[in-house]
A and B are shown apart, each in its own frame.
Chain A
Amino acid sequence: MSDVAIVGVGCVGFKSIMPELSYKELMFEAAVKAYEDAGGIDPRKDVDAFVTCAEDYWEGFSIFDEFVPDQLGAVLGHLFTVSGDGLLGLANAYMLIKTGHFDVVVVEAHSKASDILTFYDIVAFALDPIMVRPLGGNPYYIAGMEMHRYLAETGTTLEQCAEVVVKNKRNALANPYAAYGADITVDQVLDSETWFYPLKKLEVSPLSDGCIVMVLASERMAKKLTDKPVWVEGVGWATETPNLETRDWCRAIYTEIAADMAYKDAGITCPQREIDFVELSDLFAYKELQHLEALRLCRYGEAGMLLEDGVTTRDGDLPVNVSGGCLGMGYALEASGMQRLLEAVLQLRGEAEGRQIPDAEVGLAHTWRGIPTATGAVAVLSNIKE
């Protein structure tokens, strides 16, 4: 089976709101950038298949997948849509190439969150209609409940969670693709409004608009298209349970399973030693710590201490969310995983400019599909071919 490389990336955004472009125009711009980046390929003849990632309720269209070929250069081509995060799209593209039937596959994910006028109502519509939905309230209370249990079981502190926000928003200041960079203090986070006890307003990632397109290629084609291939060493994904009544409220089981799958695929036996940096879902501040533990990069309850010791800062031993994460770049719905992946690619190419991690060779990109899901995905990437 051929190895698979990311050979082109294109990003437009991320911004709190992008009313100047339609979703089609947004996708077109990101696609043009990605194809140019992939050695100037022509999508009308050089791409074997396209995978887009979108959820109808975010888009406000039924059967949204029918509306995407034009702006990607996929007219009369082979395209399908994954109703899920961009990292699931990556996993599909990876598998297509692994079959040997496809050499060049494009993956797309975007967010036009600012087009949604009733965001929380749509999230509430994802709750169980008999057991949970009739109770009312803002469905993000689920994050408050999880954070509460997680803190109680692991001994992680409110200050450690707040420190995640400070770190990631500061990281975002060095990322031109980030919408919400800021230089703030732990006290400012802790003094912000309580939204879902114990979760504070500033610990919730604000929404953002943008689009990311990536070009993947088989080893044979990758060598023709770029001199900086980023190899996809392994992918994994998993879902725990939709049932709020029975899920694990301390551990991110879905991430543990997804990570194990990706590590096995990538031949990683000791992630702590083998992974140089991590981009993961920090949709809520505590999630960065919980996910870091679930990725087996430390034990449960240790992530907060690693953060305090500076291990996860940009110049630490295990930088986490140098991009700014979701807290810094903005929560981009199904494009969230692509944000993490984009940063991993730029770091591994040595193109992260002012935020470059020196000598980065193996990076991990992780995503979580947000409230109320227990679904996550992981990709392990490297700039060195095994």
Chain B
Amino acid sequence: MSEKIKSYPGFRIKTADLREGKVPFEAWRPRVRYAWSAGIAMSRFLEELKNGRIIATYCNKCGRIMVPPRVFCEQCFKPVDGWKYVKDTGTINTYSVSFIAGDASRIKEPIIVAVIDIDGASPGMGILHKIGEINWKEVKFGMKVKAVWKPPEERVGSITDIKYFKPIREETL
């Protein structure tokens, strides 16, 4: 509204008017379902998560050890040369704290998300996961972290077989 415009033409629509069918509209919930083939590299990666291990592939040409694993080196454009286990520890490369959910509602316990450079993989190679067992204000770049795994019987071969990464305290090093 402004000096000149005191009211807009038309009438106000409230969410309730839509819900109660007072306004004509079409609603549609698409049935879009997929089952993506994980393929050679990611199938092995998921199997190893079930075993409580993180596996990488390596390229002998550029020398990179790559997490998550892939069957080809995208830099050299050639097939990789083999598999290699890496550690379940790493270093926080970058992080943020999500205080709101997908619908912008406030989350009670904020989610700390981080990119973790995995020990044993090449620099800048790692996985994106959550950080736990720490107040978000204490998280730092370069902080050493370790995977907290679900108990073996609860693992299904999913990235969520790792619950989160927690800081490695001095005494546990």
A20-B40, A24-B70 known; A122 and B77 CB under 8 Å?
no
Q: Is the CB of A28 within 8 A of B72?
A: yes
Contact with A along B96-135 (1 / 0, CB 8 A): 0000000000000000000000000000000000000000
Does A185 sit at the interface, judged by CB under 8 A? no
CA distance A43 to B74 in the complex (A): 10
Does A42 sit at the interface, judged by CB under 8 A? yes
Q: Is the CB of A125 within 8 A of B39?
A: no
Does B168 sit at the interface, judged by CB under 8 A? no
Q: Is the CB of B37 within 8 A of A21?
A: yes
- What's the nearest-Cβ distance from chain B to residue A235, in Å? 28
Does A154 sit at the interface, judged by CB under 8 A? no
Q: Is the CB of A125 within 8 A of B32?
A: yes
- What's the nearest-Cβ distance from chain A to residue B6, in Å? 34
Interface residues of B in 27-81 (CB under 8 A from A): 28, 30-42, 70-72, 74-77
Interface residues of A in 18-44 (CB under 8 A from B): 18-25, 28, 42-44
Q: Is the CB of B36 within 8 A of A134?
A: no
A70 CB contacts on chain B under 8 angstroms: 70, 72, 74
Q: Provide the main secondary structure of the chain B interface.
A: loop
* Contacts across chains A and B counted by CB atoms under 8 Å: 76
Does B3 sit at the interface, judged by CB under 8 A? no
Does B153 sit at the interface, judged by CB under 8 A? no
Contact with B along A114-130 (1 / 0, CB 8 A): 11111001100100011
Q: Is the CB of B32 within 8 A of A57?
A: yes
Does A137 sit at the interface, judged by CB under 8 A? no
A122 CB contacts on chain B under 8 angstroms: 30, 32
How many B residues have CB within 8 A of the partner chain? 22
Does B170 sit at the interface, judged by CB under 8 A? no
CA distance A129 to B41 in the complex (A): 40
CA distance A117 to B37 in the complex (A): 12
Q: Is the CB of B36 within 8 A of A115?
A: yes
| Most chain A beta carbons < 10 A, residue from B28, B30, B71, B77 | B77
Q: Is the CB of B34 within 8 A of A116?
A: yes
7 closest Cβ pairs, A-B complex: A22-B39, A60-B34, A70-B74, A73-B77, A121-B31, A117-B33, A25-B39
Spell out B's residues near A (CB within 8 Å): 26, 28, 30-42, 70-72, 74-77
User: 16 new A-B pairs (CB below 8 Å) besides A24-B39, A44-B76?
Assistant: A20-B39, A21-B37, A21-B40, A22-B36, A23-B39, A28-B72, A43-B77, A44-B75, A70-B74, A71-B72, A112-B36, A122-B30, A125-B28, A129-B26, A129-B28, A130-B26
